[in-house]
Amino acid sequence: MSSKIILLVEDNPDDRILTVRALKQHNISNQIQEVKDGQEALDYLFGEGEYAGRDTSIQPQIILLDLKLPRVDGLEVLQRIRADSRTRRLPVVILTSSNEQQDRVSSYDLGANSYVRKPVDFNEFIEAARQLGMYWLMLNEAPDD
């Protein structure tokens, strides 16, 4: 199970805590890798910066990506993910806090797979995961704790 990583890209610590809690509470037992901004997300994915030397053959199962991020914003991260052969096919679910139509349009244009309201609305997340065909890969039916 350790390879089934969920990458959570979120700068707001409250949202990070609440998201992780929501996932855990609903028996998602995957390892959740938290990064605080777009640059860190890219470093993680491509094994650069503080993640230099990471085995980049291991890529997350799914990426939860906030749009409004310091340094490198979410849309740019998405663009870079889609531009690189190593990450091109990774499912990316956008975390949204607003209904701004413009965000949705540009995210879908850049290849986002789905949308989930922040902090992770569990029902929406399950729906997104189902659409991406990963539902059973992420749900741990018998939590060990």
CB of 16 to another protein, least distance (A): 11
Question: CA–CA separation, 68 vs 37, rounded Å?
Answer: 9
Question: CA–CA separation, 29 vs 39, rounded Å?
Answer: 26
Task: Indicate whether 21 belongs to the interface with another protein (CB under 8 A).
Answer: yes
Pick 14 or 55: Cβ nearer another protein: 14
Pick 30 or 118: Cβ nearer another protein: 118
Pick 15 or 127: Cβ nearer another protein: 15
Q: How many CB atoms lie within 10 A of CB 118?
A: 18
CB of 8 to another protein, least distance (A): 15
Question: CA–CA separation, 70 vs 55, rounded Å?
Answer: 26
Residue 2: φ, ψ to 5°: -65, -20
Among 38, 60, 91, 119, binds another protein (CB under 8 A): 119
| H helix runs in the chain, sequence order | 13-25, 38-46, 74-83, 101-109, 122-131, 135-138
CB of 95 to another protein, least distance (A): 11
Task: Indicate whether 36 belongs to the interface with another protein (CB under 8 A).
Answer: no
Would you tell me which residues interact with another protein (CB under 8 A)? 12, 14-15, 18, 21, 25, 68, 97-100, 118-119
